[in-house]
Amino acid sequence: MRDGAAAIGIIRRPELVGVLVADHPLPEAMEAGKIYIVGGPGYQKWAVFRCPEHEEEIVQLSLMQNRRPHWTIAMDFLDRPTINPSVRQLDEAYAHFWVKSGCIEWCADTGQRPISAPIEWN
């Protein structure tokens, strides 16, 4: 249904889809464009996916409410994820983006070192 609706222009084709899994996926088995939601019935532990800016980098977001920081993820009936708050990588590509209904919305400071990022002294 998702692919058909996107093909005829009813909905925007998602850049990311959510997949529920019981265990952390192995990095070599992870596909770009998929967010692996690690958990079980009634609970979510982690959201794990390849960074859309730098696919060699693996993003791991805690979904556990008792941890800091933590994120929330919701999927609609087409498995399109929405993540809150935004995702901010503090190294490598310095990607900063929102995931809304499976689409990536880039923030203006993507690619810029965050002010709070640790400085490496040589």
Q: Is the pLDDT of residue 5 over 70?
A: no
- pLDDT surpassing 80 at residue 94: yes
- Is a pLDDT exceeding 60 seen at residue 8? no
pLDDT of residue 2: 53
- Rg of the chain over Cα atoms, rounded to whole angstroms, equals 15
Residue 100 near residue 12 (C-beta atoms within 8 A):
no
Report d(CA 36, CA 47) in Å as an integer. Answer: 6
Q: How confident is the model at residue 9 (pLDDT cuts 50, 70, 90)?
A: low
Are 44 and 83 in contact by the 8 Å Cβ rule? The answer is no
**Closest-CA residue to 56 (of 88, 85, 91, 80):** 91
